[in-house]
Amino acid sequence: MSVRTLPLLFLNLGGEMLYILDQRLRAQNIPGDKARKVLHDIISTMFNRKFMEELFKPQDLYSKKALRTVYDRLAHASIMRLNQASMDKLYDLMTMAFKHQVLLCPRPKDVLLVTFNHLDAIKGFIQDSPAILHQVEEIFRQLTETYGGLSAGEFQLIRQTLLTFFQDLHIRVSLFLKDKVQNSNGRFVLPVSGPVPWGTEVPGLIRMFDSKGKEVKKVEFKHGGNYVTAPKEGSFELYGDRVLKLGTNMYSMNRPVETHMSGASKNLAPRTQENIAPNPLAKEELNFLARLMGGMEIKKPSGPEPGFRLNLFTTDEEEEQAALTRPEELSYEVINIQATQDQQRNEELARIMGELEVTDQPRQSASKGDDLLAMMDGL
């Protein structure tokens, strides 16, 4: 597993979250000033310098529930509020969209272009805020510095780590089903057409060489697809043509998007029981969350400006029905952790969490994420 995967996972999922929230804010006719404030506050928190410093440290990926807790915190960094069912749907859409992008990346290195597409769109949300724009551009430079010199093999390991993280997530998304890029069982359809990866040739020809390296024979074969040569390589510069469209905003048109549990996902064993053995990394996960959330600058609403609730569903009735029908094992609770910028409080939080011990006795929970949430509830 690659220890350089977490920043790419977080930034791409965060980009998808912003796309979805922007679409729902427009669909619910939230006033423009409030919508901008929500996006600006979330982006400012997401790209906070101390938060990013923790994120970019080489480290293994943690459980889905641990990361989900961070996104719960991030989504509520402004005056907007989401209830449980809407937050569940938001996270489902985020994960399935990025999984689709990782699967379709022509080259493992192109996951970096997908990330840049997300950052380009995020910069579009904050054009009228130079301070936040500077934060995003600094992270762009850090990405270039961290990943620009990695080999093809290292990017392949990053892609493998991402696919392992998304393994067994087969949630059906109405938009993907309508566009026929997802089957009814929640699995994605891999295309057999379009441009081949940059630097490679269109399949259909086998060349044979002798011991001296001289070509002695050519054999053609039918590959069954409709491939073309890639026109050019996408730009890895701060501003440039990425060429690759994966990671751009698929919600730019007002299209309703629903999520549904597939038959395979209704079998909760692969999805929720990540490991039935006692989890020796639970303490590390808790420290990971403490460090990340300690770096978040959550801006409390100032003045008389009231908050508002955002619904990821078309109607309140659909949202209530989703909350009632969603399996309890797949629901996540919002964890409230007091992690302000006060250094003394952060150190105290880290000290308390560091003193927690993981016993050898098996817990009743089936995953390390459950262990993590149970320990947090006990704080």
DSSP of 149-180: T--HHHHHHHHHHHHHHHTT--EEEHHHHHTT
Q: What is the pLDDT of residues 108-160, one digit of tens each?
A: 999 999 999 999 999 999 999 999 999 999 999 999 999 999 999 999 999 99
Q: How confident is the model at residue 238 (pLDDT cuts 50, 70, 90)?
A: confident
Q: How far is CA 313 from CA 15, 90, 149, in A?
A: 20, 10, 43
Instruction: Taking residues 34-45, report their average pLDDT.
Output: 93
Instruction: Taking residues 158-181, report their average pLDDT.
Output: 92
Least confident of 112-121, 164-173, 234-243, 360-369: 360-369
| Cα–Cα distance for residue pair 309/3, rounded to 1 Å | 37
Instruction: Taking residues 23-51, report their average pLDDT.
Output: 91
pLDDT at 185 over 70: yes
Task: Give 100-113 as a DSSP string.
Answer: HHHHH-SSTTHHHH
Tokens of 95: 């994960």
pLDDT at 259 over 60: yes
Q: How confident is the model at residue 65 (pLDDT cuts 50, 70, 90)?
A: confident
Q: How confident is the model at residue 335 (pLDDT cuts 50, 70, 90)?
A: very low
Closest CA to 322 of 100, 92, 18: 92
Are 138 and 189 contacting, i.e. CB atoms less than 8 angstroms apart? no
Q: How confident is the model at residue 181 (pLDDT cuts 50, 70, 90)?
A: very high
- H or E stretch covering 208: strand 205-209
Q: How confident is the model at residue 354 (pLDDT cuts 50, 70, 90)?
A: low
Torsion of CA 316, 317, 323, 326, to 10 degrees: -130
- Please, what's the b/e burial string for 294-303 (b: 16 or more CB within 10 A of its CB; e: otherwise)? bbbebeeeee
| Cα–Cα distance for residue pair 85/320, rounded to 1 Å | 7
pLDDT at 268 over 80: no
Residue 318, Cβ density class (10 Å: 0-12 exposed, 13-18 middle, ≥19 buried): middle
Q: What region does 83 belong to: left with phi over 0, alpha with psi -120 to 50, or beta?
A: beta
pLDDT score at 313: 74
pLDDT score at 140: 95
Helices in 148-262 by DSSP H: which ranges?
152-166, 174-178
**How many degrees, rounded to 5, is the angle at CA 24 between CA 22 and CA 29?**
100
Sign of CA dihedral 139, 285, 173, 226: positive
pLDDT score at 4: 94
Q: Where are the domains of the chain?
A: 5-192
Closest CA to 45 of 67, 15, 75: 75
Are 352 and 379 contacting, i.e. CB atoms less than 8 angstroms apart? yes
Tokens of 235: 């730009």
Are 286 and 372 contacting, i.e. CB atoms less than 8 angstroms apart? yes
pLDDT at 251 over 80: yes
| Cα–Cα distance for residue pair 81/72, rounded to 1 Å | 10
- H or E stretch covering 195: strand 193-195
Q: What's the chain's average pLDDT? A: 79
DSSP assigned state of 202? P
Q: What are phi and psi of 254, to 5 degrees?
A: -75, 85
- Contacts of residue 275, Cβ cutoff 8 Å, sequence gap at least 6: 367, 368
pLDDT score at 301: 54
pLDDT score at 340: 45
